[in-house]
Structure 1
């Protein structure tokens, strides 16, 4: 079998995607609906917990240095700036060493006494490195050895106490289900049973198996495997994952069953989850970097959730920061627009429209009302066209200049939108009487990330009326390119190019 290349088999090129039946989503059976409802709440992400811990530990180590300084030297003095540099650089080095020592892995955090020696060695190595640097730079006499000794003891004690507290919290969160990685097994029978047993035997793992999905009938795939029920077919799994908060799909098919694996992945790649292929029973050996592990259970990484862990935290901080800046900067324009709308026609200033959000969930997006109130189309079943009589005089101007979109800064601030991402389409948006998902293969993969106020497609000219199948295909192609190549720098680039590209109003009306 060739190694599965997601970029080759599941890229944004139309020929490589499987058409989805948007108009007729799979109907879940009662057991699957009940299970999905129980999994409807969001859990604490282990990656987010690890990220926050790194930040807290970094701050604690800095504070312990400042406490040592205050204890021995009294009030802070700018003359001793070299201490403040050391108090910042040292913790940064320690956090880096702890990361490479796997001291932030959940299994390690749950057993702080097991990692006691590693943590102590990291902190000692940090001080050894700082001492070497002071010797090489000939600045050792500028530092108090007693102060650094006090910092060493206080810093390590503070770090270890923090880890004891975190271990207690993680165990409690694991018991009450607040922090776990929810996994669904794809494929049943003996291979699924073997995978489940192996996972259950791993100590301190945070995996919760939520059920099994398999297209085969009960004769070939038993309805109960290792105590877990078969909840439905693969098509039903896609609907299940849009109701339940699932983190991971574990495909239990043999690695050698290439065609069957590819058929499954062509259906599943649109979901915003990690997809892993069980490799425990495979005789084939891949490069070590191709594997990830649950305890000692090897898995082949097929797809990763596009924006997860620290990336999701950084993107959320980005959204809040720039949304507040946008609201403050454009507040005079928004106030003037609200007054103009009120004077121009009867009806509310704001218009709320239901659109597809993250993971295909329906969200409400805010816009300034640009149509006559009695002719508004909340479902957007009929696309706005050039010289559309439903659009008011003020509406034509604010649509052409995209001022009608400014209230979406509040959507981004509150979290239903991101500032940058695939533009959310109305739930009933159509092209030639076909829903967009019926026109474009893999359309729902746009929803693997949170939709945005602006996006890569928009600054490349694909904004305004989607009156041809080609336009919606091209917009989807660019949206998927953004998802596959996301970074904060990419977001910044799109954000700062948006006002420039909005000067081209050819397709906006």
Structure 2
């Protein structure tokens, strides 16, 4: 069969040039719109025009450093938006630095500058999203595609091809496969398959296929080397997509580690940017919650103190991120009692140790409110795996698969396991296993919006649960 060669490579340079010109025009347009919105004097208009001219030149020089003119085919569009906004802010800061050196910053309207920054950022982002929306429609119609031949066999190869088929907006089309385990399993339906590397390579050259993806396991080094040697003299993009599902716990991204590429098999699933984002949200949410709930917490404290002897707060050592031990805070819900060292007795239904006020607090989860103090101190997060007693950690880490990996991030006041019904007593291994599986799902699929969803569901459902006692 004859495959169409994509026109993307032929027009890539032209697209990059047009994108740069469009960005420069958007910088000028943003400045002009800001001038129309904000009334300034004639002298100020001249300075603002000079400022805009500086930024237009800086945009040509600096924006390419943020990778926004590279091909983003198949890559995260939200990451592109972040790079565009960050790049434009860098351009503005450099422009301000030039105006400062010329002693002209005091003469520039601050309102105009802010308006210009926001308008241009909006224009740059909107233009990118519009372009990618149009490209997505064009690619779904079968144009502007990059043809891909996939090397591999089994579930991993099928998963890679399935991702291509399921993401038409990305602009890739799988057109052939090289089955590295011919005869052991059926080929991917609908695609021509080859058993001989030479025949496969001839097809790639004949049909001018631009991408060859190696969907192989880490142990198939010989196959990788043979494919690389075969295409050593061709202008074909070779991409290795290793099958590390059985090895990697969370993040399988390739990172630069002191100059050498490394694949994270077992490491923190959160990027530094995600950790900063989560930490900022945690502190703001905890501070707001403590201020808003202060009257409620004061009333609970009085009720606990009046109805039973003992302190208002119950504290206990728990493990946080990376196994660091901290002291967790709760409103006391049980009568003061002695506990044997190293032995932890969980609360059970009808437990005589629980006070009347304590039963209400536990049932409504109001006993957890002081943990916002732990969040504010940086020991916990609003959303994350619930911290267990240290005695439970010692008990379950060797019998529940993946248990210890819950402590790759900060524990939370609420979590994915809790909103899915895994709360209260864990009197059977199966209950703890289910809780851990939900925690690991959260770690593998974390996003800011998943946190927002969990918080929203917690507010709706968290004032009562049949397993909370």
Q: Using structure 1 for the length normalisation, give the TM-score.
A: 0.47
Where does residue 65 of structure 2 map in the other structure? 98
Residues 372 and 292 of structure 1: CA distance in aligned 2, closer, same or farther (over 3 Å): closer
Name the Cα RMSD after superposition.
4.6
Structure index of larger Rg? 2
8 Å CA contact retained: 2:365, 2:464: no
Over 3 Å counting, the alpha-carbon distance change for 1:157 and 1:363 in structure 2 is farther
Distance 1:378 1:318, change over 3 A: farther
Q: Spell out the pairing of 1:267-416 with structure 2 (5 A cutoff).
A: 283=225, 287=239, 291-294=254-257, 297-303=260-266, 305-375=268-338, 381-416=344-379
8 Å CA contact 2:363–2:463 kept in 1: the answer is: no
Secondary structure at 1:428 match in 2: helix
How big is the shift at 1:326? 1.0
1:154 aligns with 2:106: no
Tell me, in whole angstroms, the C-alpha distance in 1 between the residues paired with 2:313 and 2:56: 50
| Offset, 1:314 | 0.7
Decide whether the 8 Å contact of 1:94 with 1:126 is kept in 2.
no
The superposition leaves residues 312-362 of structure 1 with CA deviations (integer Å, 9 ceiling, x where unpaired) of 111000000110111122111110110001111111100111112111222
Conservation of the 8 A alpha-carbon contact between 1:405 and 1:453 = yes
Change (3 A) 1:88 1:101: closer
Write the distance in 2 (CA, Å) between the matches of 1:374 and 1:390: 8
Match of 2:395 in 1: 435
Counterpart pick for 2:430 among 454, 459, 470: 470
State how far apart, in whole Å, the 2-side matches of 1:75 and 1:374 are: 78
Say how many residue pairs are matched.
Answer: 278
Q: 1:472 to 1:90 in 2, by over 3 A?
A: farther
**Gaps in structure 2 of 5+ consecutive residues:** 1-33, 35-39, 70-86, 104-215, 229-237, 242-252
Give the direction of change, closer, same or farther, for the CA distance of 1:306–1:85 in structure 2 (3 Å limit): farther
Shift in Å, 1:299: 3.3
CA distance in 2, matches of 1:408, 1:315: 16
2:410 is matched with which residue: 450, 457, 478? Answer: 450
Determine the C-alpha separation between the residues in 1 that align with 2:276 and 2:94. 35
Give the 3 Å change call, closer, same or farther, for CA 100–466 of structure 1 in structure 2.
same
2:382 is paired with a residue whose SS is strand
CA separation in 2, counterparts of 1:319 and 1:372?
32
Map of 1:36-435 to 2, 5 A cutoff?
Answer: 97-100=64-67, 153-154=98-99, 258=219, 283=225, 287=239, 291-294=254-257, 297-303=260-266, 305-375=268-338, 381-429=344-392, 435=395
Q: 1:379 to 1:496 in 2, by over 3 A?
A: farther
Q: CA–CA distance in 2 between the matches of 1:453 and 1:361?
A: 17
Is the 8 Å Cα contact of residues 321 and 409 (structure 2) preserved in structure 1? Answer: yes
Offset at residue 464 of structure 1 (A): 0.8
Q: Secondary structure at the match of 1:313?
A: helix
Residue of structure 2 in register with 1:233 after alignment: none
Alpha-carbon contact 2:382-2:413 (below 8 Å) kept: yes
Shift of 1:503: 3.9
Paired position in structure 1 for 2:455: 495
For structure 1, the residue ranges without an aligned partner over 5 or more in a row are: 1-65, 67-71, 103-121, 128-147, 159-254, 260-278
Which SS does the other structure have where 1:423 is aligned? coil
Q: Distance in 1 between matches of 2:321 and 2:56?
A: 39
Distance in 2, Cα, partners of 1:89 & 1:408:
50
How much does 1:435 deviate?
A: 1.1
Distance verdict in 2 for CA 1:87–1:469, change over 3 Å? farther
Q: 2:440 aligns with which of 480, 483, 492?
A: 480
Question: 1:297, CA displacement in angstroms?
Answer: 3.2
Does the aligned pair in 2 maintain the 1:93–1:126 contact within 8 Å?
no
What is the CA-CA distance between 1:402 and the residue it aligns to? 0.6
3-state DSSP of counterpart to 2:398: helix
Q: 1:151 Cα shift?
A: 5.2
Mapped to 2, the partners of 1:85 and 1:380 lie a distance apart of 70
Task: Provide the secondary structure at the position in 1 that maps to 2:421.
Answer: coil
Cα deviation for residue 375 of structure 1 reads 4.4
